[in-house]
Structure 1
Amino acid sequence: MSRLIEADVAIVGGGIVGGSAALFLARAGKKVVLLERDRCGSRASGVNYGGVRRQGRAPQQLPLAQRSHALWGQLPDLIGEDGEYVRSGHLKLARSPQDMAVLEAYAAQVADYGLGLQLLSAHELRQMFPMIGDKAVGGSLCPEDGHANPRLVSPAFSRAATAAGATIIEGAPVSEVEQTSSGFRLRSVAQDLTVTAPVLLNCAGAWSGALAARLGETLPISAAHPLMAVTEPLPAFLPVSIGVEGGGVYGRQVTRGNFIFGGGRGIPHPVSGNAPVPDFARPERGALVNLLQQAAELFPDLAGATIIRSWSGVEAYTPDHEPIIGPSSTIPGLFHACGFSGAGFQTGPAVGAVLADLVMSGQSVTPIAAFSADRFR
């Protein structure tokens, strides 16, 4: 039987951003309906690497990252579980003096943001982390950054939102969306469901551009496909989450001993077709071998390790790799939160809180002007 749900806020997309927005709005007393095309947390929010880092972010992102850092510290109270979140520290490695100079310049640039960065010479690096090979000439450590399990954390936000009173409907791709005199009307044929609301939050990830286009607004969203893998369990050798200045491999070792790492790109599937965004992506064997070789150069303990699983996904990117967050300048009641360009897992909870701010009061306590879609006009 066809259903009609009248809500205060409709949300499209059940990733960490949509789920956290639903949670904060429901706790504020709003009637929220969230539509997710698959399962909550199953797309970019669930297939990412799991890094929870502030280090390396552009300065304009750091107020958002700092707000999120505080929320991550309250994770069990927010979502009812710890999501394997640990503040292990995030170590960014330099492979050349030029890379080290970039890390030094960044530390000076963000000195007022409270990250507590520690610049390490080659000698200091090996004193603290003797497992690192001779490819690294120095590094930058952010002691309170860390990592978590995205497959646990991301869907838990939507479950917590449900417990707070939000209506979460999975398997509900949006077949139709239109602006009405009172707000928005969304139709999901798969669920034989219609949702009406005066406010719409576009948290649809790589599909956010397509959703905006159906309402007559252009967002420059493209898709990219992260490449990641995990090894067999290994003896403990890496106590911190790591990245590399200038790009390349990133990795973390979990309590069970598995080394989770990523870098490079997967292959979209299908490679061709009429769909503007591919539904899935798959790893490429040669790229995985190259990635593990890079990791073993940095950490000799990985030599001979066996990859037991690899995967890819579909992430949303913008031309300047900065997210789009905030109200539409052309459509009243529409808010966007998308285009996180591979770095949205850490900031996700704060973005949800910002969206709740905007809906409840019309403004955010966290500065977001730099993320307006208008910068592309």
Structure 2
Amino acid sequence: MTTKTRVVVVGGGLIGTWTALLLVKRGLDVILIEKGIVGAQSSGVNFGNLRLQGRHPGQYPLSLRSQALWENIEELIGDRCEFEKTGHLYVAKNDAEHEKLEQHARVAESHGLVIERIGRNELRRRWSWVGEEPQSATYSARDATANPRLVSVAVARAAQHLGAEIAENTRVTEVLRSGEGFTVKTANGRTIGCDAVVNAAGAWALEVAEAFGETAPMFAAGPPQFVTEPLAYRITPSVQAVDGSVIARQIPRGNVIFAGYPRTASDPVLNRAPVPPVKTLNGMRSLMKIAPFLKSAQVIRVWSGIEGYLPDMLPVIGKSETTPGLFHAFGFCGHGFQVGPGVAAVLVDLIVDGKTETPIDLFSINRFKNEVLVSDKLAKEFDAPAASGSRAG
């Protein structure tokens, strides 16, 4: 027997759950299928940063649309998920890094973001915990954080409350074209007929794309992350070194959460994201240079995630180039948490209205039919074997 629905969403991470929620709010029947537990992959184990500073210039319209949804999260889903406008402090240690900060600031300001420039003395006056190494910073008060362990589950719960079906521990085995729609088959023997399919399967999304003659040079990796014991609450903004060696925030309970580069390879087949101990030690050394009071802090847990990365460090978002009714959203290169709600809103635009006002041409899967330039960030932020070479395609 075949179940009928309007849209099947493959993948129960942040983008999949937000897509299901916004679709059902528009009156469409939705079934979300997740091979494991909602929010258990990168959507639930990332750093939780809702950073607006330092984004790719072409990503700002999407990023700002997404931030507006984050700022309205409690009204949308009935749960704040520890969303807080903490602000984001971007720090530089030398003149070259200061120039990068200035470049990022100019781009952000061109999209209407308010950026403060902060010199060395002012930096230490406002945030007394900052050490001697940072020389300058920029600050964006609109940047925020949220708890990734809570969000996808809360969004899925809100979607379910409105009538969406959430099928966990259900692996999609086949997606077939069927007339003007699709037939989706699962490992537990279920068959679902639908008009549209959203491919939001994260690091596993190529299985769906390649079934319809599309692909991308995606590989799996993740940043080393750790959390310290609870300490006196001093670091109120999210803090990032412009070279990526430190991304840190302290939650009101006192724990300091860290992420940093270089990222390392993950294994989507074995579902493993190991963190070599040396990365934790190096991360703690880098963190102490920015916040020396953490010198004696004890690390109590270490982890990473399985994220999809593409050579130009940009995601795939939008309509399939081969199959009407198929929509892709994957390869977010560690940036999916902030843009997730906005990506979902764009997908809903495309499914319901047939178009979107948010520019997404830059993210077309079609770009990989030709060679694409490998991002400079890739070589600087990774030590995974896949992050080599100057072109990919």
Q: Distance in 2 between matches of 1:52 and 1:106?
A: 16
Q: Is the 8 A contact 1:226 1:314 kept in 2?
A: no
Specify every segment of 5 or more residues in structure 1 that has no aligned partner in the other structure, as ranges.
270-275
Q: Distance in 1 between matches of 2:200 and 2:265?
A: 24
1:320 counterpart letter in structure 2? D
Specify every segment of 5 or more residues in structure 2 that has no aligned partner in the other structure, as ranges.
370-393
Cα displacement (A) at 1:158: 1.1
Q: Is the 8 A contact 2:108 2:115 kept in 1?
A: no
Equivalence map 1:166-245=2 (5 Å) = 166-189=164-187, 191-245=188-242
Query: Please, what is the CA RMSD of the aligned residues?
Result: 1.3
Q: Distance in 1 between matches of 2:120 and 2:270?
A: 43
Q: Aligned residue for 1:148?
A: 146
1:283 counterpart letter in structure 2? V
Cα displacement (A) at 1:249: 1.4
Q: Which moved more, 1:139-148 or 1:3-12?
A: 3-12
Q: Given the superposition, is the C-alpha separation of residues 248 and 278 from structure 1 closer, same or farther in structure 2, using an over 3 Å criterion?
A: farther
Percent of aligned positions with the same letter in both sequences? 41
Q: Aligned residue for 2:376?
A: none
Q: Is the 8 A contact 1:268 1:278 kept in 2?
A: no
Cα displacement (A) at 1:323: 1.0
Q: 2:31 aligns with which of 30, 33, 37?
A: 33
Q: Aligned residue for 1:60?
A: 58
Matched, 1:291 2:283: yes
Matched, 1:310 2:302: yes
Q: Aligned residue for 2:333?
A: 341
Q: Aligned residue for 2:361?
A: 369
1:119 counterpart letter in structure 2? R
Q: Aligned residue for 1:71?
A: 69
1:168 counterpart letter in structure 2? I
Q: Aligned residue for 2:387?
A: none
Q: Is the 8 A contact 2:54 2:108 kept in 1?
A: no
User: What's the TM-score once normalised by structure 2's chain length?
Assistant: 0.91
1:165 counterpart letter in structure 2? G
Q: Aligned residue for 2:389?
A: none
Q: Aligned residue for 2:374?
A: none
Q: Distance in 2 between matches of 1:352 and 1:229?
A: 29
Q: Distance in 2 between matches of 1:6 and 1:219?
A: 30
Q: Is the 8 A contact 2:215 2:365 kept in 1?
A: no
SS in 2 for 1:175: strand
Cα displacement (A) at 1:106: 2.0
2:272 counterpart letter in structure 1? F
Matched, 1:262 2:252: no
Q: Is the 8 A contact 2:181 2:196 kept in 1?
A: yes
SS in 2 for 1:192: coil
Number of residue pairs the alignment of both structures matches: 368
Q: Is the 8 A contact 1:207 1:277 kept in 2?
A: no
Q: Is the 8 A contact 1:267 1:283 kept in 2?
A: no
Q: Aligned residue for 1:354?
A: 346
Q: Distance in 2 between matches of 1:111 and 1:293?
A: 33
Q: Is the 8 A contact 1:206 1:277 kept in 2?
A: no
1:239 counterpart letter in structure 2? T
Q: Aligned residue for 1:273?
A: none
Cα displacement (A) at 1:170: 0.3
Q: Distance in 2 between matches of 1:322 and 1:266?
A: 18
Q: Aligned residue for 1:19?
A: 17
Cα displacement (A) at 1:260: 0.4
2:212 counterpart letter in structure 1? L
1:151 counterpart letter in structure 2? R
1:232 counterpart letter in structure 2? E
Cα displacement (A) at 1:41: 0.8
